[in-house]
Amino acid sequence: MIVGFLGTGIMGRPMAGHLQAAGHALLLVQHRSPLPEELVAGGARACANAQELAAGSDVVILMLPDTPDVEGALFGTSGIVAGLKPGTLVIDMSSIDPVATQDFARRVAAVGGRYVDAPVSGGEVGAKAASLSIMVGGSEEDVAEAMPLFELMGKNITRVGEVGCGQIAKVSNQIIVALNIAAVAEALVFASKAGADPEKVRQALQGGFASSRILDVHGERMTKRTFDPGFRIALHRKDLNLALNAARALSVALPNTAATAQLMAVCDANGLGQADHSALVQGVELLSNHRIG
pLDDT tens, 13-30?
999 999 999 999 999 998
CB 9 within 8 A of CB 33: yes
> pLDDT band at 31, cuts 50/70/90?
confident
Per-residue pLDDT, 155: 96
Q: How far apart are CA 247 and CA 211, in angstroms?
A: 29
Mean pLDDT calculated for residue range 171-181: 97
pLDDT at 185: 98
Q: Confidence class of residue 33 from pLDDT cuts 50, 70 and 90?
A: confident
CA angle 224, 190, 242 (to 5 degrees): 75
Catalytic residues: 170
CA 224, CA 222: separation in Å to the nearest integer?
6
DSSP classification of residue 85:
P
The whole-number average pLDDT for the span 221-239 is 94
Among candidate residues 58, 123, 61, 65, the one with its CA nearest the CA of residue 93 = 61
What SS3 class is residue 62?
strand
At residue 197, the pLDDT reads 98
* 244 has a pLDDT exceeding 90: yes
Q: Domains in the chain, ordered, with CATH? A: 2-161 (3.40.50.720), 169-288 (1.10.1040.10)
SS3 call for 10:
coil
Average confidence (pLDDT) over 214-221: 97
Spatial neighbors of 269 by CB under 8 A, at least 6 apart, are none
Between CA 206 and CA 215 the distance in angstroms is 7
* Of 95-99, 115-119, 196-200, 282-286, the least confident: 95-99
Specify the pLDDT at position 253.
98
Q: Would the pLDDT of 34 be above 90? A: no
Q: Is 90 helix (H, G, I), strand (E, B) or coil?
A: strand
Those residues whose C-beta lies under 8 Å from the C-beta of residue 154, and which sit 6 or more positions away, are: 120, 122, 126, 130, 131, 132, 133, 134
Instruction: Please give the pLDDT value at position 100.
Output: 94
Give the mean pLDDT of 75-80.
Answer: 97
Output the CA–CA distances (angstroms, integers) from residue 205 to 120, 178, 216, in the order listed: 28, 19, 9
Task: Give the residues across from 115 on adjacent strands.
Answer: 90
Residue-wise burial string across 212-225, b where 16 or more C-beta atoms lie within 10 A, e elsewhere: eebbebbbebbbee
Q: How confident is the model at residue 123 (pLDDT cuts 50, 70, 90)?
A: confident
> For residue 204, which phi and psi values (nearest 5 degrees)?
-65, -35
Q: 263, 284 in Cβ contact below 8 A?
A: yes
C-alpha 148/C-alpha 108 separation (Å) is 22
